[in-house]
Each structure stands twice: as structure tokens, then as C-alpha cells.
Amino acid sequence: MTFFYKHIVPTGLKIYLKQINLCKLTHRVTKTLRAREHPVTKTLHTHTTLGKITTLFSGAALVDQHEKVKGIFVTGTDTEIGKTVIAGGLAAILKQAGANVGVMKPISTGDMADAEYLKHAAQVDDPLHLINPVSLCHPLAPSVSANIEGKHVDILEISKAYSILQQKYDYLIVEGVGGIAVPINDDKLVVDLIKYLGLPIIIVANAGLGTINHTMLTVEYARQHQIIILGIVLNMLQSGKSSLVELTNPKEIERVTQIPVLGVVPFNEQIGKPNPDSDYLADFISKHIELDFLNLGDML
């Protein structure tokens, strides 16, 4: 049991499992996740073959070579949905709390602005080519941009950079490119990269009209691919007061997905600019997102 807890259960979920008999998970886990029928209470299987251990937690296959890494993969329901601000904000919060946190943007298209934002937010000194090992010129799907440039997006190349960062930091915030089903090369999607890294995800979604459908599709696709979903963050992309849509979407999304909505982040022009003040960014995001899933106590 000790080996299972220390080496198999993803760190982002340890807060939900401490001091709990694994045969009696339901009450405290369910209370923490705020979802009575959340998949985490339904499935827990372990399979061992020739020394390689693969754990199915809520149906999520974890890659054993990265099982000790603490981290989160921030994905979204669309492009330009606010993934960078949320990922940078989480990194800034961890940095402010004294955690040894690193950031990564495995693939970028168009420019390296997202990687620069993350680097500034986390206050790290890593070179951009390490934070962002695959940088493509055209603001298109990675597979399309790479084909135009005569390149191939190699997950092994990303893995090398990830391994270096993994050894340097106790916790990694990794931001995806586009949505979860965006093709990164001829036969791999963003979801394949998530599975390869073995990280749980946070889904960033628009807070406005239409988001229920987009969020539901993203959640179901992640579940089909056995990805652990820690929660959903709703991001307001325009200024102004919350309408009835923004006020009712969080509860309805929780109801239909059985995934906790961690918060609704209001529009803020200041944090959307390049290189915002890291402390201001951390303070703003922490006011609007529940942070229990970060498990700060275990990192400090």
C-alpha cells in the first residue's frame, strides 16, 4: 500500500487519498471533489506487467517513467481561451508560496510569446528553447505548420526537454497548444502528449455562452483517453458584468460533467499583457480559483 501511494498515485491527487483506506474512498474524496458521482470514486485498478506498472485511476493510464513528477497539464476547449494566463497564474502562485516550480510550453505556433509569459510568471532562468522545445512559425495547428515548414514534431524531443526540467524542479506547470484533440503531427494529438507525460489536466474554458457544449466534449474526450481531470476553470474573455450565462454555467457544467469547476476568472486586461507583475498575477488568480488541488503542503 505504501509503494502504491508513494510511487503510483499522481501527486496532484495525493491530497485526496491521505489517511484514507483505499477500500473506503468514497466519502472524503467525494466531498473534496464536490461531485457525488465523480469518476474517481468509481474506478481504481492496478496492472503490473514485466516490472512496468500502469495505474488506471478513473480510467487514466499513467506513464511509468514520469510517475514521480508533480505537475499539471493545462489544456483548453479552444485556442485563445486563456490557458497561458491560468498556467502562468498557477506557476506564480506556487513561486510566491516558495515552491520549486518550473514551466513548459512543449509546442508553440506563430511565436514564443506564451513561453515567455510562463517564464516571467514563474521567474525561472531556463532558456526558451528548453521551456518551448518545439516552436513553429505559422499560427496553425502544429501538424499543418510543421508540414509547411518541412518539419516533424517529435514527442521524444519534447520528452528530452521535459526530463531536464523534471530533474530541476519539484513541480511543473505544462501548457498545451490549442485544444485536447489538436493534431501535433501526422499520427499524434495533444491528448497523446498528455498521456505520454502522464500528467493530470485542468481544462480552461470560456465562461460565456456555448461553453457547456465545448466543455462537455472536452471532458468526454479526455475520459475516453483515460486522462485524469482535476477540474475546470472558466475564463471571462470580455470585460463587463457577469450575465445570467456566466452566473449559471458553473453549476450546470458541474452537473453535466461531474467535474468540479475550480473557479471563474474575471476579465483583467492587466494580466493579459506580456510580462505582468508576478505577485499581482498570483494574487489575482488565487482570489478566483480554489487551490486545494495544488497540494501546497507537500511542496513546501
Q: Which residues are catalytic?
A: 105
Distance, in Å, from the CA atom of 98 to the CA atom of 96, rounded to the nearest integer, reads 5
Which cell numbers hold the place of 106? 512543449
CA angle 177, 107, 132 (to 5 degrees): 130
Distance, in Å, from the CA atom of 147 to the CA atom of 126, rounded to the nearest integer, reads 28
Cell 471563474 -> residue: 264
CB atoms within 10 A of CB 113: 13
Distance, in Å, from the CA atom of 249 to the CA atom of 104, rounded to the nearest integer, reads 30
Residue 189: DSSP 8-state: B
Instruction: Burial-class residue 277 by CB neighbours within 10 Å (0-12, 13-18, 19+).
Output: middle
Strand, coil or helix: 19: coil
CB 177, CB 109: distance < 8 Å:
yes
